[in-house]
Chain A
Amino acid sequence: MAKQNKPQQAPNTGHEWDGIRELTNPPPRWWMISLHASWIFCVGYIILYPSIPLLHESTKGLLGWTQIKEFKEAVVENNAIKAPYLKKVAAMDGQALLADAGMRNFAESSAKAIFGDNCAGCHGAGGEGSPGLFPNLADDDWLYGGDFDTIVESIADGREGSMPAHKGMIDDADIEQLADFVLASSQGKATPKGLALFNKSGCADCHGEDAKGGVFNDLGTGAADLTDGIWRFGGSREDILRTINSGVNEDPEDIPNTRSAIMPAFGEKLSPEAIKMLAVKVYGFGGGK
């Protein structure tokens, strides 16, 4: 009947330790079948796919499969799925896009990666910026305007802040007083005397006669509202003094302490749809108007 494992008679390797003998009973047949199936699979795999590492690359395999090729195919597939939505994005204006919950969700989700690649380096993953260096996108203070179309414009064309260094242009004592004035005005404690000096010194040309900033002038300098509690370049007295003395975007060779405020233009790098979706995301940080 059955073929039995007979230890006594079974072929013996001749190895013996303390009476325990190593036998050569065959393993279960399905084990052997699996073993052979496995190596046959391996050989097939080696022939078909890149597998043997050489000095600079590896064998190519008959199928010519590569990871990057598969990735590119997946990207094409993904783009095909996204295409109709992107068409919709292109066709809709800002208000419509913000009002449509589904499209807004699509735009924000798509913009997450774009924002991470292009914007988060300076503005932070949540648009929180970096105090004194890069502006916060989540608050309601906009140097160039916080409506949808202006946000699109800022991303596409970039922005470059500009403020002359006033050291030497204005008396040091006046600069000290001006610093005190803007600090007080941000806390709602502006004095008429300070405002008079502010206007006399020429600050109002950009920041407005009421010091409420450049949104209301057409200079495009991004002159800040000095009456709110938000400071682009830091709100301590030293910070304010530095900004007045050294200005913004002066030549750092002449004025090493100058503030830098340059937003690159992304209009060339990103598609109009991508910029629109970014604007939805930036708007959604909470400060959009």
Chain B
Amino acid sequence: MAENKHHEIESLYNDSQHWHVNAGDETIHAKRMAGRFRNYKWYASTLYLLLFILPYFRWEGSQAILFDIPHRQFHFWALTIWPQDIWMLALVLILLAITLFAVTAIAGRIWCGYFCFQTIWVDWFTWIEDKIEGNPIQRRKLDSAPWAGKKIRLKLLKHSLWILISILTGVTFVAYFTDVYGLWYSYLTMDAPLTAWVVLGTLFLFTYVFAGFMREQVCFWLCPYARIQSVMVDKDTEMPTYDILRGEPRGKLRGKDSNERGDCIDCRLCVGVCPTGVDIREGMSEGCITCGMCIDACDSIMDKVDRPRGLIRYASRKEMDGKPLPPLFKRPRVVTYAIILLLSMLGIIYGLTHIPPVELSVVHERQPLFIQMRDGNIKNKYTIKAVNKTPTDLHMRISIETVQGISIATDKDKTAVLKSGKIIPFNVFLIARPEALKEKQTPVRFILESIESPTIRIEYESVFIRGR
């Protein structure tokens, strides 16, 4: 028994011997090749170009997309989201999370491979590197060369461009929180507020270090997604897979026993193009971001050696085992995700179409709960907090719906001006004849109606308290 166990441990050690995990000791210099998935990556890249352009769009005299933190407003063209609507953010987060889960269940780490900003920025950075320093072989040679004229010149150029992109990334990020034109002006005149500099500096540093130096190390060791993907994928998940039955035993194309060998000619091009430096032939690993570069590489080789494409291809474990892939609606995991997705989507659509023009809350005073007046009447104090979400000031008529005998104390309290975009809390007093109050608490409904536009009418339930 003990012998057997010892053997098992030894076999684990043996297994891990050829298991290559890059802990950051080597720089991955991946070869860049044209191909189908390479193109997909570029298409996805262009989506991020939008990110750089969007802050410059204007809407009705101000920035179209603006996270206005001082005023607690989020502007998206005609839409303005207020803190009171923030519950929608929870739905948006659920939507995004479930989308990620659903996509992972269906097709693995599509996000990582094509859409993640880490992947995209690394792709831009290595593209620049490739253009300036040459192909991976030249790059490795340059890295080991002594610091001299040409090396300094090339490295300087590369890092300048990296820094430029990083600064642009930082400025673009800040631009979503303040007016972009004013921001550029204040940066260029060195007049920006400290916060703007700190955020720019942080974003710059993270972009430069993450995309320039850490690269796949971020995916390996920083990003939690790689660690939890194994609970999100199953045997039906499509992801880049090496067809082990067709490929093995791998070996040279020609020569002795070449007829008995599989289709894999062990050219290692799939490893050479991998941006995270994994060997797809060892199976799925936490390092694989499923970007499909190895598929492009392998297909090009298969074309050359005149064998069918798809030795590495998007396929599920079941397909590899020769079983058919069940349709999406028969996969409980996918169906569950789809239902949650749909619900949160409906919630967001409902929320966006039902943002009230005025948000009202009426807070009954707790100290004191009621005031005994000289003439025996009971007075209750209410604090009205109303947010006017419309662009103009609103003149409101305040009325109540309750039992006979309770009324608004003074005529002054029957109207109020709600300043646009502001909350100025004000008090309203209700007064009641004691004999009108049968119960300790009497329900009161506050109604605020706009005098100019009667469609704006909001109600709020509160109580009138009599005391013992």
Q: Which residues of A contact B (CB under 8 A)?
A: 1-8, 18-20, 26-31, 101-102, 105, 124-128, 136, 138-141, 225, 228-230, 284-287
Instruction: Judge whether B39 is part of the interface by a CB distance below 8 angstroms.
Output: no
**Is residue B424 contacting chain A, with contact meaning CB distance below 8 A?**
yes
Report whether A101 and B372 are in contact in the complex, using a CB–CB cutoff of 8 Å: no
- Asked if B145 is at the interface of the complex by the 8 Å CB criterion, the answer is no
CB under 8 Å from chain A, chain B span 6-35? 6, 9-10, 13, 16-17, 19-26
Query: In the complex, A225→B375 CA distance in Å?
Result: 12
Q: Determine whether B366 belongs to the interface, using a CB cutoff of 8 Å to chain A.
A: yes
Residues of A within 8 A of B25 (CB): 2-3, 26, 29
| Chain B, 409-429, CB within 8 A of any chain A CB | 409, 417, 424-427, 429
A105 adjacent to B214 (CB under 8 Å): no
3 closest A-B pairs (Cβ-Cβ)?
A126-B367, A128-B368, A228-B374
Contact residues of A: prevailing secondary structure? loop
Q: Check A286 against B21 for contact (C-beta < 8 Å).
A: no
A105 neighbours in B (Cβ, 8 Å): 424-426
Contact of A29 among B10, B24, B365 (CB under 8 A): B24
Q: Check if A102 sits within 8 Å of B23, measured CB to CB.
A: no
Q: Determine whether B5 belongs to the interface, using a CB cutoff of 8 Å to chain A.
A: yes
Docked complex Cα distance between A2 and B376 (Å): 90
CB contacts between A and B, total, < 8 Å: 99
Assess the B367–A125 pair: CB atoms within 8 A: yes
Nearest chain A residue, comparing its CB with the CB of B15: A7
A18 to B: closest C-beta gap in Å? 7
Asked if A18 and B381 make an inter-chain contact with CB atoms under 8 angstroms apart, the answer reads no
Encoded as 1 (CB less than 8 Å from any A CB) or 0, chain B from 254 to 277 comes to 000000000000000000000001
- The contact size tier of chain B is 35 or more
Task: Tell me, in angstroms, the Cα distance from A225 to B373 when the chains sit together.
Answer: 12
Residues of A within 8 A of B373 (CB): 139-141, 229-230
Instruction: Say whether, besides A18-B9, A28-B23, A139-B371, A6 and B424 are in contact (CB < 8 Å).
Output: no
Q: In the bound complex, how far is the Cα of B375 from the Cα of A105, in angstroms?
A: 29
Interface check B221, CB cutoff 8 A: yes
Question: Which B residues touch A140, using CB under 8 A?
Answer: 373-374
Q: Does B158 contact A (CB under 8 A)?
A: no
Query: A97: shortest Cβ distance to chain B, in Å?
Result: 14
Q: Given known contacts A8-B13, A138-B381, A229-B376, is B371 in contact with A101 (CB within 8 Å)?
A: no
Q: Which residues of B contact A287 (CB under 8 A)?
A: 371
- Answer whether residue B109 sits at the interface, using C-beta atoms and an 8 A cutoff: no
- Given known pairs A229-B374, A284-B427, the reply for A126 and B9 (CB within 8 Å) is no
